[in-house]
Structure 1
Amino acid sequence: MPLIDLPLDKLYTYNGRMAKPNDFDAYWDRALQELQDTHSEVEISKSSFQTSFADCYDLYFTGVKGARIYAKYVQPHHPPEGKDTFPAVLEFHGYSMNSGDWTSKLAYAAAGYAVFSMDVRGQGGKSEDPGGVQGNTLEGHIIRGAAEGEDSLFFRNVYLDTVQLARIVMKMKEIDETDVSVTGWSQGGGLTLACAALEPRVKKAAAVYPFLSDYLRVWEMDLAVDAYKEMRTHFRRHDPTHERKEEFFARLNYIDIRHLMPRIKGEIMMGTGLMDTVCPPSTQFAAYNNITSKKEVVIYPDFAHENLPGMHDRIWSFLTK
């Protein structure tokens, strides 16, 4: 089989290129305290889209830095048999995309699961970015704030949005707070793992080819293209002679999901295509190998950053079993 990365046996032992910053845990504890001090100001209203077996709602909340965050909320008319409250699934989408169509949530609703699908701030949906701009800023989110310092990193705030949504859901009287799971592909996969780490009450997490891991490895593989191309753009525009390269990657190290993985308590399923040149397999395994809770990875040897046949079904069965 051709290889674009390390052999499979080496992938299972690879842990990433940069050590965790000494103040990494303090950094995220401080961020979580900021989240704790943020007033969510939740608003829920009926959506124009409705079904015969579930109610559909538009949910808004205020995240850190004052951004107004949107999520689709589908609540079935009846919880699963034998339950008085609803288990819940949180969904996170791919880079620059949005929460998708309502109909894509209905398989979980049909099983009695409430579904919450978040628009990432400043990307393709209804959530605002920290500057109050609604809609798509398209790219540059990995590097946004890096020049100002790690406290200004854009994805720091996005990770906190996922935690805030999980906490809002867990506080709802109709939701079983002990049965909240998360899932997503690519950027959504990275956010899934970050959410499960920063809100360890998450029961299960299903992440497919997660983004936002092991940035220096991506750079050294000369794969700062596609989803990671903004790293190359940063150097071309702001540091053409790489005088501040070490400082740049040291800043991004604070939003490297692999350092968060030991915080996860829930059960994890991951899906990986070994031909993936968008989120290289080694960067995915750098996160996976740092998870200490119950876990499994489903390998697709001949597939890249694309649809992985049967994976949606595997995830549905994993989250609802």
Structure 2
Amino acid sequence: MPLVDMPLEQLKQYEGRNPRPADFDAYWERALEELEAADANPELIPSAFQTPQAECFDLYYTGVRGARIHAKYLRPKKRDGLQPAVLQFHGYTGDSGDWQDKLAYVSLGYSVLALDCRGQGGASEDTGGVKGTTHNGHFIRGLDDHPDNLLFRHIFLDTVRLARIAFELPGVDPEQVYAMGGSQGGALTIACAALEPRIRKLAAVHPFLSDYKRVWEMDLDRDAYQELNTFFRKFDPLHEREDEIFEKLGYIDIQHLAGRIQGKVLFTVSMMDTICPPSTQFVAYNKIKAPKELLIYPDFGHEYLPGNADRTMQFFLQK
């Protein structure tokens, strides 16, 4: 097998490099309490895009710190009893995608809710100093502030609120709410299912936002992780705050959330990935205690993975 990281047997045992803050659990309990205290105020607006088989809505709701969050919501027009729902999360700086690419799940009787991450390429609001997009620099946002102000804390909570809205939608079976995504979307899938453990199944593909210190030690703090390199170069060139920075990033490191997942997991790793290195993917998988299945693509990097979307659909359809 080609290698850009550790041998496979070492990857299967790898436990991570980025520190877990001592108050990690209290941090996330406090975050969830803040979410509970904020009124979601959901609003459904019929979309201009409609099909004979699907009802399509722009869903808006309020996340923490007052940000108005947008998601695409599609549901079958013909519904008989309770049906599954799938949450979809997109890649870094992207958006929820086109309406049409969600219709395959709608044709199977699923409702689909696709999030626009705040401040990225979609319609969600970013209230972190400006309205509108900031597009990049998200996982370092808040490193010079209190950990409660880390932007990805708020984005993780946005996924939880979307899931909780999904549980309450008409026709949705609360025993069949699933989540999926790749890269940043894979990280958000893990965070969502960890912080809202009622998620029954989740499919995460080469997830981002994991084991930041390992990325830095591999000299791969570029591409998606470039802002880590930028932060040190601009604000801590002598690395005098290195321990502090990596510990603070530990609050938004998905490897430390993965053990909270209770749903069944389909996890995909790309072994030639130099954007989200295999070790950073494996460490999240290794810490999942719930039932799990691992798919390994030996010759692929951070890219389209043939057959993976089909495997994900079959995974969700399994009874």
TM-score (norm 2): 0.98
Match of 2:231 in 1: 234
- CA distance in 2 between partners of 1:200 and 1:231 (Å): 30
- CA distance in 2 between partners of 1:316 and 1:78 (Å): 21
Q: Deviations over 1:111-164 (max 9, x none)?
A: 000000000000000001123745431211010001112111100000000000
- CA distance in 1 between partners of 2:281 and 2:162 (Å): 24
Q: Which SS does the other structure have where 1:184 is aligned?
A: strand
Q: Deviations over 1:62-113 (max 9, x none)?
A: 000000000000010234xxx5022100000000000000011001000000
The 5-angstrom pairing of residues 192-211 of structure 1 reads 192-211=189-208
2:187 corresponds, among 172, 187, 190, to 190
Conservation of the 8 A alpha-carbon contact between 1:96 and 1:136: no
- CA distance in 2 between partners of 1:75 and 1:132 (Å): 35
- CA distance in 2 between partners of 1:285 and 1:22 (Å): 23
Match of 1:181 in 2: 178
Match of 2:164 in 1: 167
- CA distance in 2 between partners of 1:253 and 1:120 (Å): 20
- CA distance in 1 between partners of 2:41 and 2:28 (Å): 23
- CA distance in 1 between partners of 2:151 and 2:228 (Å): 14
Ranges in structure 1 where 5+ consecutive residues have no aligned partner: none
The answer to whether the aligner puts 1:35 opposite 2:32 as a matched pair is no
- CA distance in 2 between partners of 1:45 and 1:87 (Å): 22
Q: Deviations over 1:223-249 (max 9, x none)?
A: 000000000000111111111111111
State the number of aligned residues.
Answer: 318
Ranges in structure 2 where 5+ consecutive residues have no aligned partner: none
- CA distance in 1 between partners of 2:129 and 2:97 (Å): 22
Conservation of the 8 A alpha-carbon contact between 1:127 and 1:134: no
Match of 2:16 in 1: 16
Q: CA deviation at 1:210?
A: 0.4
- CA distance in 1 between partners of 2:152 and 2:13 (Å): 27
- CA distance in 2 between partners of 1:135 and 1:108 (Å): 30
Match of 2:54 in 1: 54
The 5-angstrom pairing of residues 27-176 of structure 1 reads 27-79=27-79, 84-131=81-128, 133-176=130-173
Deviates more, 1:148-157 or 1:196-205: 148-157
Distance 1:50 1:132, change over 3 A: farther
Deviates more, 1:210-219 or 1:132-141: 132-141
Match of 2:301 in 1: 304
Conservation of the 8 A alpha-carbon contact between 1:124 and 1:135: no
Match of 2:246 in 1: 249
- CA distance in 2 between partners of 1:192 and 1:52 (Å): 30
1:225 corresponds, among 222, 225, 235, to 222
- CA distance in 2 between partners of 1:124 and 1:282 (Å): 28
Distance 1:60 1:309, change over 3 A: same
Q: Deviations over 1:166-217 (max 9, x none)?
A: 0011012321111100000000000000000000000000000000000000
Q: Which SS does the other structure have where 2:70 is aligned?
A: strand
- Percent sequence identity is 57
